[in-house]
Every structure is written in C-alpha cells, then in structure tokens.
Amino acid sequence: MRIAFIGLGVMGYPMAGHLATAGHDVTVYNRTRAKSAQWSREHAGVVADTPAAAARDADAVCTMVGDDADVRAVVFGEGALEGGGVLSSLRADALLIDHTTTSATLARDLAEAHPHFVDAPVSGGQAGAQNGALTIMCGGDETSYARAVAVMNAYAKATTRIGPVGHGQLAKMCNQICIAGIVEGLAEALHFADRAGIDPEAVIAAISQGAAGSWQMTNRAATMIEGRYDFGFAVDWMRKDLGHTLSEARRTGARLPLTALVDQLYAQVQAEGGGRLDTSSLRMLLT
C-alpha cells in the first residue's frame, strides 16, 4: 500500500519504520525536517514537505502527533501550518487513521470530515512501538476497521474494534484510568515498605507473583526503588490524557475520584519541574 505517516516522534518513528519493513511504500512528514531526513536514510522512504503533499495519492494516512491541536493542524491545516493539511489532498476513498491520543470529540469531528476514518490510540509505550508490539483500541465502521488492520498489523500485537468512531479514544481513557491508579498504588506500597523498614525489592519479588502483580510492577518497581524516572511515558502526556478523561467524565456524569486525585498529584510533579519525567515519578512525592 501507499501509506503516508505524519509525525515521527518516539512512537511514530519506529511505527513508520515497521510499515516500510513490511513492504509498504511509505512517505513521511514531520515538522522537524531533519527527523524525516534521518528516517528516510534508514528506511529509503520519501520525505514530504507538507502533510498535504504526504497524503497525495496515498491509500492510507496515519497520524501520530501530540494533541488535539496538532491533529487539527496536520489534518485540517489549522494554525500556522503551511502547505495545507491532509484533507486538502486526501482521496475520498483513502483511509485516515489517527493514532494520537485525543478527545473523543475530535475523533467525531474527523469522521464528519472524512468518510473512512478510524480513531486508533495505542498502548505499549516506546518499547511497544520499537518492537512492533502495540495494543491498539479502535473506533470506526467495520469496513474501515478491517482496512486499517492491514496497515496496523505492521506494528501491533493486538487490535480491537471497540465500536463506532470515538470509542477507541474512550477505551484509551479507560486504559489511562487503570494505569493512573496502579502507579499510585505501587508508589504508596514502596513508600509504605520503606517506612515499615522492610526490603522493598524482597516485597516486590513476593507480591508480583500474586494478585498484586501488574505490568507497572514488573517494569517500573525496580526503577522506582532506585529513584530513576528519566524514561517512558512523560507526566505531561499523562496529564493531557487524564484531562480528556476527566472532561469526558463530566460530560457523561461518570464519577472518577481516584483518577481526579492522581491527576492532582501529577500536577504537583509538574509544578516541581518533573513534567518530562516518567509517570512512575509519583513515587517522588512520597518522602
């Protein structure tokens, strides 16, 4: 397939690479052209000067950028973006897949603007993107979803259609609700172990084999014990995601007391200059 990939950050760069490795004809666009040039040297792909140029003649366009405003810029051409957005040149029969974690409202706006749209936020972090092992939650009609799977298989270990457009983003919000609570619980457990005078590494070795075990415990407990938080998914991005989640909760009347509390804790981490630290940095607040 001829695929345009918009956004070559820590996630998009390897995702686009997997598409090229799978044999697709990939054209990339990134606001920082040097990143696009580097990707092209590694994968022999084409570099476009604008999102519109990248999307021209593409069978599918994938976007993986920062937030709602970034998606609106590259798709609709809003803001100071020069050269036009994806929709100014996208074929009516082409597929548009947004992997950015955004509001469900934006997903619905994109569906109104293009008939073959799938909202497809991902979970698995940078390691999942690099290893081609992302979990992807999708919203869209069944036909568009089936077409999108043929693209996403290059970098996904699992894809699930949750429901119509917007439901992928809503499922990602559920994902972030779970992560926020688990990370705070892990931080408090390690803090409790410290104050109780017991070996936190021994505790984790024991409880990780039981009902308390989780991905966060397996992958973050050791670095939390060591006080290392300079990797993984940043607090700034988690607060963006939780902001969408809490906004949707207000709209629907859902009660999310733990999520709201953890969001406030992350705000404290940001206030102390830790916005770019990994989400496991909640442990720093418990001293």
Quick: pLDDT tens for 129-183.
Answer: 999 999 999 999 999 999 999 999 999 999 999 999 999 999 999 999 999 999 9
Long-range contacts made by residues 153-157, C-beta under 8 angstroms, separation at least 24?
153/22, 154/15, 154/18, 154/19, 154/21, 154/22, 154/24, 155/14, 155/15, 155/18, 155/19, 155/129, 156/122, 156/132, 157/124, 157/128, 157/132, 157/133
What was the pLDDT predicted at 88?
95
Torsion sign over Cα 72, 75, 76, 79? positive
**Is 171-285 in the same CATH topology as 2-163?**
no
The answer on pLDDT for 204 being more than 70 is yes
Most confident residue range from 79-83, 178-182, 227-231? 178-182
| Mean pLDDT on 211-217 | 96
Name the DSSP letter for residue 65. Answer: -
Q: Which residues contact 223 (CB under 8 A, 6 or more apart)?
A: 229, 231, 278, 280
Taking Cα atoms as reference points, which of 18, 19, 40, 43 lies closest to residue 29? 40
CA 171 – CA 15 distance, rounded (Å): 21
Annotated active-site residue in 35, 157, 172, 240: 172
Q: State residue 232's pLDDT score.
A: 79
User: What is the maximal distance between C-alpha atoms in the chain?
Assistant: 64
Q: Identify whether 157 is a catalytic site residue.
A: no
Does pLDDT of 63 surpass 90?
yes
pLDDT tier at 83, thresholds 50, 70, 90: confident
Residue 71, pLDDT score = 97
Domain boundaries defined on the chain = 2-163, 171-285
Give SS3 for 101. Answer: coil
Which pLDDT value is given to residue 80?
Answer: 58
Domain over 2-163 is classified CATH 3.40.50.720: yes
State pTM to two decimals.
0.94
250-253, long-range: CB < 8 A, 24+ apart: none
Query: Are 122 and 128 spatial neighbours (Cβ–Cβ below 8 Å)?
Result: yes
Q: Give residue-wise pLDDT tens across range 14-33.
A: 999 999 999 999 999 999 99
Residue % of the chain over a pLDDT of 90: 96
**Cβ-Cβ contacts under 8 Å for 196 (sequence gap 6 or more):** none
* Residue 81, pLDDT above cutoff 90: no
The answer to whether domain 171-285 has CATH 2.60.120.1130 is no
Which structure tokens are listed for 189? Answer: 């457990």
Letter string b/e over residues 245-260, b meaning 16 or more CB atoms within 10 A of that residue's CB: bbebbeeeeeebeebe
